[in-house]
Amino acid sequence: MQILILLCVLFTQNISAQQIKKAVAGPFLLKNGTIHSITNGNFVADLLIQDDKIVSIGKNIAIPPKTTEIDCSGKHIYPGFIDGGTRLGLAEIESISVTNDFQELGDFIPHMKALTAINPNSVSIPVTRVNGVTTVFSKPERSTFPGTGALIDLFGYTPEQMFAGAEGVMMTFPSTGRRGRFDRRSDEDIKKDSDKAMQKINDIWTKAKLYATIDSALTVEKKPKNTYNPQMDALLPIVRKEAKLFIEVNKKDDVEAAVKWVKENGIRAVFTGVAEGSRVAPLLKENNIEVITGPVLRVPGRGSAPFDESYRNASEMVKAGILVAIRTNDAENVRNLPFNAAYAASFGLGIEEALKCITINPAKIFGVDKTYGSIEQGKTANLFISNGDPFELKTRIEYLFIRGWNVPMESRHTLLYDEFIERNPGK
Amino acid sequence: MMNIRIIYATILCFLFPFFGSGQGSILVKNGTVLTVTKGTLENTDVFIEKGKINKLGKNLKVPEGTQIIDASGMFVMPGIIDAHSHIAIDAVNEATSPNTADVYVGDALNPLDVAIYRALAGGVTISHAMHGSANAIGGQCETIKHRYGVINPEELRMADAPRTIKFALGENPVRVHGEGNNIAPATRMGVEQVFRQAFSEAKLYMKAWEDYKAGLTQSSPMYNRRLETIVDILKGNIIIHCHSYRADEILMLLNVLKDFGIKKICFQHVNEGFKVAPELAAFGASASVFSDWWAYKFEVYYSTAYNAAILTRNGVVTSINSDSDELIRHLYLEAAKTQRYGDLNDDEALALITINPAKQLGIDHRVGSIEVGKEGDIAIFDKHPLSVYTIPQKTIVDGIIRFDIKNDAPDMRLDVNPEDKFASDYLEEALIKEDNCLQGVSEWLLQSDHASYLRFIYSQRHSH
C-alpha cells in the first residue's frame, strides 16, 4: 500500500512537471531591489504589488496579510517592455495563411479589429515574455487602410482580459517610387500609379470629412443614421482629431509626402516604420509627428546607405526631439525587442533613451502613460526582475509580473529544453 | 558627362588600395585576444605576415614599416565564419529537378554585392555561399573569403577549400516539386527515394567506368556531370550540407548515408536537431543552426532557441549561421543568445561562429581560431563580442583591412553605375521572415495553382 502511495506521488509529480505552470496572484513585496523607474531615476527601494497595481514604493512599507516577499537584493526591477508594432497573437505560423489574421481582403477596411482576432493561446506569447516584454501593439497591415490595431498585455485568457486600453487605426501610405530592382515599371507608370494611389487616399479623406460633417449634423439634430458605413465610422475619431492615425511609411520621399498629406488634412499622425527617418528628422519634428520605428535590426533600404543606418535611425530622430518608440514588427520573435533597443543604444541613442523607447515613449504615443511605461505608484504592475542589465544576453529575467500576476517564465522553448537537454532514453 | 567621369574617377581612387586579393602584413597591438581554441590572452600582439598569423605575444618586434593597429582596450577575435549564406551570388536555386548536383553556385559569384561589405562590418570574413533548398539534391556551393574590393569572382573563392553540396529535406523540395510541379517528391517518403536513387545510380555509373577502364566493356559510359558529383560524394570528396528541420527526416538521411558509407554531413537549420542530438553525435554529423528563428513554417513550429545549447551539450559540433543578409551583420549577437538560452560559456558561444563552422566547411586547419600558422582573418571589437553593446571596429582578411569603421566611406558600393536608375532606390523590407533558401523559385512556381503560399510570400518580399 505504501509503495502504491509512493508511486502515486511520484507519478503525479511527474505529470505536474509537464504542465504549464499557472500565474500566481499577489500581494507581492519586492524587497530591496534597484528600481529603474524610467521617469524618476534609479534607486533602491521596496515595491508593493497589490491586485493589478504598484501600490507603494519606498522603505518600510506596511504590507497586507498574505503578502509574498521576494528578496530583490542585488537585483534590478524594470517596467515591462512595450513593443510598438507587432503581429503577435495575429500570426501563428507565417507560411500557413489560415493561421494568419493580420491581412483581411480589401484596401479600405479600417473597421477590421485586431483585438477580435488576437489568440490568447498563441504559442509565441509565452516565448515573448521571457525577455521582459509585457505589452505589445498588434496590428493589421499591408493594405492602404488595413484595420485597427490593439495594445495588449501578454497575459490573459480572452482578448478582453488582455486589452490594454488603446487602439489605433492603421494606414499604409502609398509608396511613391520604385519598390526595388524587381519592379520593372517605367518611370511614367510609376508616376501614374502613385498619382492614382494618392488620388485614392485623398478621395477617401474627402468623403471621411463629409461623412463626419453629416454625422455631426445628425447628432445635433438627434436624427438616426440610416446608413451602415463601418469604414467611415472607424475614421470619425481621426477626422475629429480625437484619435491618432498610425501611418506606415518608410522611404524618405514617402515620408515627405506623408507629412504634407497629414498637414493638409490636419491629421494627428504617428508614423510607423520610418526606416529612413534619420534623413528627414527635422521635418518630422517641425510637424510634431510621433514615430514608432523598427526593426532596428534590419538591412538599410538602399545599397548606398551606410551599414549602420538602421542602427542609428532611432537615435537621430530622438536627437531631433521626436517622440520615438521602437518596435520589432515581428510575430514569433518579438522577444528580440530589447536587443533592437540595445543596438540603437550602442549606435548613438544611449541606454537610458533606448529604455524609454520601449517603455514610457510607446505608452505616451498610445495615450496610456498614466498607467503604463514606468515604475510609479499607482501604475499597472507590469514589471520584471532581472539579475542585471536586461539588454545583455548573459542577464536572466527571473520574475515577470503582468497586471500584478506573477507569470511563470515558461514557454515551449524552455519546456523543450527541459525535456531534451538530457533525453531519456538517450542513445 | 563630366559628372559621370568624376564619379568613375572617385570610385577608382577609392578602389585602388583594395585591388587584388593580395596578402597583407599587419600588427594588431595590445588587444585582448580571444583565440577561441587556446583561451584568452590579455595585452597581446597578433602579427600577421603576408596573410598568415606569424607571431602571438607581448611587445612583438616586427619589420620596420609594418602597418600597426593599436587594439588597446579592444577585443581581437578570429574572423567570424558563416556556414550558411546566400550573399555574393547572382543565382540561388536551379529549381528544375529534384536533383541538380551538376550545377555549381561558384559559377554565379558576384564580388560586387554590397552585402559582403555589410557582413565584414559584422566581423564576418568567410561565408559559405550556398545553393537553395528547392531540390532534394541541390547544387554545389562555394566557400568565399570576404575580400570586398576585388572585381574578379575568382579572387572571392577560398582556394582549396573542400567542395560542398546542398541537400534539402522537408517542406521546400516537397512544395517546389510535388505541389508546384506535380512530380515526386511530394512527401518525405519521396525525398528519401531521391537520395537512394541518386546514390544507387551513381554506384552503377562508377562501376561502369571501372569496368570500362579495366577493359571489361568496349564502349565508355556517357559522361554525366550530375552522376560524377554524386560519385564524388560517395568517395568522400564532397561535404554534404543538408537543409533540414524535423527529427524524423534527419534520422532518415543518417540511415541513407549509413547504407552508402557516407560520413561527411553537416545538417543546416536542423531546428529539431535537439531531439536527435545523441544520434547526430554518434554518427559524427554536425549541425549549423539559427539562434532563434522558428514558427515561420510548420516544420519549425516545435522548435526551441535552446537548440544550439542542447546540441553542444550532447557533443555535436554546432555552429550558428545567418542564411540572411541581415543576420550575417551580427552573428556575434546571435552567438551570444546561446548564453541567455542555454548558458553556454564564452568560448563555447564564440566557437559557434568561428572554429565550429570552420570544421563544418573543412577549413579548420586554416581559419577559425587565432593560432600561429593560420590565415590572417581577424575581427576587432570595442567591447567583448558577446556583449550586446559591442561594435566591430576593423575586419581583416588575409592581413588586409577590409572594414574600418573610422575610415570607410558611408557609401561602399562597388557597382555604382550612373546610368542605373535602380541602383540607389529604396528596397522594401522583407515583411515575411523565412529561410532564404527558396530564392529564385518564385517566378515559375507562381504559375502553379497550388502555390498560394508562395504567392503570398513573394507578394510581400523583395527578391535578390
pLDDT of B40 > 50? The answer is: yes
pLDDT of A261 > 60? The answer is: yes
CB–CB of A262/A287 below 8 Å? Answer: yes
| pLDDT of amino acid A184 | 76
Encoded amino acid at B442, one letter: S
pLDDT of A27 > 70? The answer is: yes
pLDDT of A34 > 80? The answer is: yes
Work out the mean pLDDT of chain B and round it to a whole number. 90
- C-alpha angle A278-B7-A176 in degrees, rounded to nearest 5: 40
pLDDT of B274 > 50? The answer is: yes
Residue with the bigger pLDDT between B453 and A319: it is A319
Residues of chain A with C-beta less than 8 angstroms from the C-beta of B425: 177-178, 180-181, 302
Q: Which three cell numbers stand for residue B60?
A: 612583438
**Segment A11-38 mean pLDDT:** 78
Lowest mean pLDDT among A351-360, B135-144, B427-436: B427-436
**Segment A380-403 mean pLDDT:** 98
- The minimum CA-CA distance between B372 and chain A, rounded to whole Å, is 31
What is this model's ipTM? 0.93
| pLDDT of amino acid A178 | 73
Residues of chain A with C-beta less than 8 angstroms from the C-beta of B310: 417, 420-421
The three-state secondary structure class of A129 is: helix
pLDDT bin (cut points 50, 70, 90) of residue B423 is low
In A177-289, at which residue ranges do the beta strands (DSSP E only) sit?
Answer: 245-249, 269-273
Residues of chain B with C-beta less than 8 angstroms from the C-beta of A414: 304, 306
Nearest residue, CB atoms, B297 vs list A93, A346, A347: A93
Query: Which of B25, B53, B18, B17 lies closest to B37, judged by CA?
Result: B53
Nearest residue, CB atoms, B388 vs list A96, A124, A342: A342
pLDDT of B435 > 70? The answer is: no
Nearest CA in chain A to B304: A413
Write out residues 112-141 of A within 8 Å (CB-CB) of B: 123-124, 131, 141
Separation in Å, CA A127 to CA A16, A370, A416, A418, B304: 20, 28, 12, 15, 9
pLDDT bin (cut points 50, 70, 90) of residue B420 is low
Task: Say whether B426 and A412 touch across the interface (CB within 8 A).
Answer: no
Give me the CATH topology for the region B80-86+96-367.
Answer: TIM Barrel (3.20.20)
- The minimum CA-CA distance between B326 and chain A, rounded to whole Å, is 5
Give me the CATH topology for the region B1-78+369-425.
Answer: Urease, subunit C; domain 1 (2.30.40)
CB–CB of A216/A242 below 8 Å? Answer: no
Residues of chain A with C-beta less than 8 angstroms from the C-beta of B421: 178, 187
| pLDDT of amino acid B10 | 53
Write out residues 196-215 of A within 8 Å (CB-CB) of B: none
pLDDT of B2 > 60? The answer is: no
Nearest residue, CB atoms, B296 vs list A95, A412, A427: A95
- The minimum CA-CA distance between A342 and chain B, rounded to whole Å, is 7
Write out residues 157-196 of A within 8 Å (CB-CB) of B: 175, 177-182, 187
pLDDT of B306 > 80? The answer is: yes
Task: Say whether A178 and B297 touch across the interface (CB within 8 A).
Answer: no
pLDDT of A256 > 50? The answer is: yes
Residue with the bigger pLDDT between B277 and A226: it is B277
Nearest CA in chain B to A95: B297
| pLDDT of amino acid B443 | 45
Query: Which of A338, A377, A345 lies closest to A359, judged by CA?
Result: A338
pLDDT bin (cut points 50, 70, 90) of residue A416 is very high
Q: Is CATH 3.30.70.20 correct for A81-372?
A: no
**Segment B95-109 mean pLDDT:** 97
Write out residues 41-100 of A within 8 Å (CB-CB) of B: 92-97
| pLDDT of amino acid A198 | 94
The three-state secondary structure class of B282 is: helix
| pLDDT of amino acid A176 | 75
pLDDT tens readout for residues A152-204: 999 999 999 999 999 999 999 998 777 666 677 888 888 898 899 999 999 99
Task: Say whether B422 and A333 touch across the interface (CB within 8 A).
Answer: no
- The minimum CA-CA distance between A327 and chain B, rounded to whole Å, is 14
d(CA A315, CA A308) in angstroms, rounded, equals 11
Nearest CA in chain A to B120: A307
Class of domain A20-80+373-427: mainly beta
Nearest residue, CB atoms, B411 vs list A304, A391, A395: A304
| pLDDT of amino acid A182 | 66
Nearest residue, CB atoms, A421 vs list B118, B313, B333: B313
pLDDT tens readout for residues A214-243: 999 999 999 998 889 999 999 999 999 999
pLDDT tens readout for residues A237-250: 999 999 999 999 99
| pLDDT of amino acid A18 | 43
| pLDDT of amino acid A187 | 83
pLDDT tens readout for residues A265-300: 999 999 999 999 999 999 999 999 999 999 999 999
Task: Say whether B296 and A332 touch across the interface (CB within 8 A).
Answer: yes
pLDDT tens readout for residues A360-379: 999 999 999 999 999 999 99
pLDDT tens readout for residues A89-111: 999 998 999 999 999 999 999 99
In B17-123, at which residue ranges do the beta strands (DSSP E only) sit?
Answer: 26-34, 40-49, 52-57, 67-70, 75-78, 80-85
**For residue A232, what is the enclosing H or E element?**
helix A230-239
What is the bridge-based pairing of β-strands B137-145 and B124-129?
A: antiparallel
Task: Say whether A299 and B325 touch across the interface (CB within 8 A).
Answer: yes
Residues of chain A with C-beta less than 8 angstroms from the C-beta of B422: 178, 180-181
Task: Say whether B429 and A301 touch across the interface (CB within 8 A).
Answer: yes
Residues of chain B with C-beta less than 8 angstroms from the C-beta of A124: 295
**For residue B395, what is the enclosing H or E element?**
strand B392-397
Separation in Å, CA A375 to CA A39, A67, A180, A415, B407: 8, 20, 44, 31, 43
pLDDT of B422 > 80? The answer is: no
Task: Say whether A417 and B326 touch across the interface (CB within 8 A).
Answer: no
Residue with the bigger pLDDT between A190 and B198: it is B198
- A-B C-beta contacts closer than 8 Å: 183
**Segment B225-233 mean pLDDT:** 98
Task: Say whether B339 and A393 touch across the interface (CB within 8 A).
Answer: yes
pLDDT bin (cut points 50, 70, 90) of residue A138 is very high
Nearest residue, CB atoms, B340 vs list A141, A393, A421: A393
pLDDT bin (cut points 50, 70, 90) of residue A7 is very low
Cβ–Cβ contact A339 with B under 8 A: yes
pLDDT of B447 > 50? The answer is: no
pLDDT of B445 > 50? The answer is: no
Chain-centroid distance of CA A59 in Å reads: 33
- The minimum CA-CA distance between A73 and chain B, rounded to whole Å, is 21
d(CA B178, CA B261) in angstroms, rounded, equals 29
Q: Which residue out of A304, A310, A414, A419 would a mutagenesis test of the B interface target, given it has the greatest number of B Cβ atoms within 10 Å?
A: A304
**Segment A33-41 mean pLDDT:** 98
For chain B, the structural domain boundaries read 1-78+369-425, 80-86+96-367
CB–CB of A233/A258 below 8 Å? Answer: no
Residues of chain A with C-beta less than 8 angstroms from the C-beta of B118: 299, 307
| pLDDT of amino acid B419 | 60
Task: Say whether B457 and A336 touch across the interface (CB within 8 A).
Answer: no
Nearest residue, CB atoms, A297 vs list B305, B330, B389: B330
Query: Which of A35, A47, A31, A43 lies closest to A377, judged by CA?
Result: A47
Nearest CA in chain B to A307: B118
Residues contacting residue B133 through CB under 8 Å, at least 6 positions apart = B93, B166, B168, B172, B173, B243, B435, B437, B438
**Segment B29-48 mean pLDDT:** 98
| pLDDT of amino acid B464 | 26
Task: Say whether A297 and B326 touch across the interface (CB within 8 A).
Answer: yes
Q: Which residue out of A105, A189, A250, A299 would a mutagenesis test of the B interface target, given it has the greatest number of B Cβ atoms within 10 Å?
A: A299
